[in-house]
Amino acid sequence: MGTKEEVVSLICEVFDVKEDEVNMDVSLYDSLGVDSTEMVELRVAINKKLGINLSQGEISNRHTPNQIIEIVEKKKSS
């Protein structure tokens, strides 16, 4: 499973949505109504599942799923 699939899967799991509800180019806040507390849950899930260490300020509910994937890929390669 690639980074994109893993991140989308975690978004679906953490926010209890179906994959077709995830708009890759719209912020999680605007598309799913995700708040900052829920973003902490996503960050923790990404860190645990992908073995990286995203800090609190690196992703926010104003990011799109595509932006989060880019951030995760950069973190994985560093």
Rounded to whole angstroms, how far apart are CA atoms 58 and 8?
A: 17
Q: What is the pLDDT of residue 67?
A: 97
Q: What is the pTM of this model?
A: 0.94
DSSP state of 35: -
pLDDT digits (tens, 9 = 90+) for 24-65: 999 999 999 999 999 999 999 999 999 999 998 999 989 999
Domain residues for 12?
Answer: 3-77
In which region does residue 16 sit, left (phi positive, over 0), alpha (psi from -120 to 50) or beta (all else)?
left
Residue 75: phi and psi, rounded to 5, are -65, -40
Q: What is the CATH number of the domain that holds 20?
A: 1.10.1200.10
Say how many domains are in the chain: 1
Average pLDDT over residues 15-28: 97
pLDDT digits (tens, 9 = 90+) for 22-34: 999 999 999 999 9
